[in-house]
């Protein structure tokens, strides 16, 4: 009897009401040049026809699970617990792999001797227009806690060694939804590092319904809750605590401003300012007081 082939990669896709997008996501995975993989779609209680769309795919490497809605942290952990691959990749159901994504990861994993965490760079697609992400300027190499206290440039586009006894799972409390990626990175880089490959092999769909765009007021609340969690759960030096605090309140100010809550944005900017570089603090405060367009005019006048 022939033993079943154990996949090298498991791609875990949490999804909720993405019937219009998940087909392209699955197509991008099935088009990989490296084929030793399995795909686990974890439907987090969708109310649309996601099941029908996924059901059109007949590839035996694809498995579909439906569960009650509990947000992405739970869905990712659910998929991870059922994964068989040596490495697990988390992919949102509106994003796409480039054809060489898995092959690129596989080559570097073999070269490095099976790191616990590895990632490639990604870009954005906004209505057909491609734009670089914050990963574009990062050199290839190892990144640890000092990097992630300044923010989460990788989002959740990471590849994780499954048999890692020190791995911290995603936070499952839905009050942290949309921030659980950052929390995951911080908790797991306390005692480890992530290797970043200098290759763009993934595209994030920057549409209006993305979790980081759709509800700024809720995100501000979750960021503040997450800050308390991070400071309480992650071992940080005083300097790292200051940097993290400044970054969270900076993001709160930006998202409050985006929702038109200028007074709240200014309060957050004042809380962020003592923990930010002077130039960044000044620009943030100006933006909240006089508006982004005026800041742009001032920059042009100085330039």
pLDDT in tens, 76-130: 999 999 999 999 999 999 999 999 999 999 999 999 999 999 999 999 999 889 9
* Distance in angstroms (rounded) separating the CA atoms of residues 18 and 50: 6
Distance CA 236, CA 75 (A): 28
Phi and psi dihedrals of 118, rounded to 5? -150, 150
Average pLDDT over residues 23-48: 98
Alpha-carbon distance of 292 to 290, in angstroms, equals 7
Arithmetic mean of pLDDT over the chain: 92
Q: Are residues 201 and 258 in the same domain?
A: no
Residue 179 in any domain: the answer is: yes
Q: Given the structure tokens 């760079």, which residue do they identify?
A: 121
Number of separate domains in the chain: 2
**pLDDT score, position 298:** 41
Q: Examine the domain organization and report whether 176 and 243 are in the same domain.
A: no
Is residue 3 domain-resident?
no
Domain assignment present for residue 1? The answer is no
DSSP for residue 136:
G
Share of the chain above pLDDT 70, in %: 92
Q: Report pLDDT for 62.
A: 98
> In the listed set 176, 205, 234, which residue is the last one of a domain according to the structure?
205
The least confident of 14-18, 105-109, 177-181, 213-217 is 213-217
The verdict on 85 and 199 lying in the same domain is yes
CA separation for the pair 38, 61 (Å, rounded):
5
96-to-152, 201, 260 alpha-carbon distances in Å: 19, 9, 32
Whether 166 and 254 share a structural domain? no
> Is residue 277 domain-shared with residue 195, that is, in the same domain?
no
Report pLDDT for 211.
Answer: 54
Is there a domain that residue 226 lies in? Answer: yes
| Final residue of a structural domain among 161, 183, 205 | 205
Domain boundary among 163, 178, 205: 205
> Which domain range does residue 76 map to?
9-205
User: Do residues 22 and 160 both lie within one domain?
Assistant: yes
Residue 38 CB: number of other CB atoms within 10 A?
Answer: 23
CATH number of the domain within which 171 lies: 3.90.550.10
195-210: pLDDT as tens digits: 999 999 999 998 666 6
Alpha carbon separation from 103 to 36, 70, 98, 263, 287 (Å, rounded): 10, 32, 10, 49, 43
| 16, containing H or E segment | none
- Both 96 and 172 in one domain: the answer is yes
CB 32 within 8 A of CB 101: yes
Longest Cα separation, the chain: 75
Query: What integer pLDDT is reported at residue 295 of this predicted model?
Result: 42
Q: Please indicate, yes or no, if residue 128 is contained in any of the structural domains.
A: yes
Same-domain status, 258 and 114 = no
Q: Does residue 293 share a domain with residue 195?
A: no
Asked whether residue 286 carries a pLDDT value surpassing 50, the answer given is yes
Yes or no: say if 135 and 176 are a contact pair by the CB < 8 Å rule.
no
26 and 160, same domain (yes or no): yes
Do 252 and 193 lie in one domain? The reply is: no
| DSSP bridge pairs for 121 | 200
Q: Which residues does residue 40 pair with via DSSP β-bridges, in sequence order?
A: 12, 63
Q: Do the beta carbons of residue 230 and residue 238 sit within 8 Å?
A: no
Give mean pLDDT, residues 221-235: 97
């Amino acid at each position: 009897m022939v033993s079943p082939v154990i996949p090298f990669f498991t791609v875990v896709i949490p999804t909720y009401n993405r019937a219009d997008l998940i087909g392209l996501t699955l197509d991008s995975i099935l088009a990989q040049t490296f084929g030793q993989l399995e795909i686990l779609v974890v439907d987090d209680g969708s109310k649309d026809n996601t099941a029908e769309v996924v059901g059109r795919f007949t590839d035996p490497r694809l498995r579909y699970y439906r569960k009650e809605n509990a947000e992405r942290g739970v869905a990712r952990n659910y998929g991870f617990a059922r994964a068989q691959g040596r490495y697990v990749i988390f992919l949102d159901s509106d994003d796409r792999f480039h054809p060489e994504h898995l092959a690129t990861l596989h080559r570097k994993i073999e070269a490095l001797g099976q790191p616990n965490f590895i990632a490639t760079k990604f870009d954005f697609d906004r209505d057909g227009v491609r734009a670089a992400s914050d990963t574009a300027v990062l050199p290839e190499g190892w990144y640890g806690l000092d990097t992630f206290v300044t923010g989460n440039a990788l989002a959740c586009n990471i590849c994780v060694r499954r048999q890692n006894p020190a791995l911290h799972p995603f936070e499952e409390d839905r009050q942290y939804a949309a921030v659980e990626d950052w929390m995951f990175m911080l908790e797991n880089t306390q005692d480890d590092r992530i290797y970043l490959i200098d290759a763009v092999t993934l595209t994030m769909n920057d549409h209006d319904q993305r979790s980081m765009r759709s509800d700024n007021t809720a995100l501000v609340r979750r960021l503040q809750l997450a800050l308390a969690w991070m400071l309480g759960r992650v071992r940080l030096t005083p300097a790292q605590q200051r940097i993290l605090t400044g970054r969270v309140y900076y993001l709160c100010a930006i998202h409050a401003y985006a929702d038109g809550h200028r007074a709240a944005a200014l309060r957050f900017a004042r809380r962020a300012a003592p923990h930010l570089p002077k130039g960044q603090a000044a620009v943030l405060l100006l933006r909240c007081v006089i508006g982004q367009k005026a800041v742009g005019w001032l920059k042009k006048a100085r330039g």
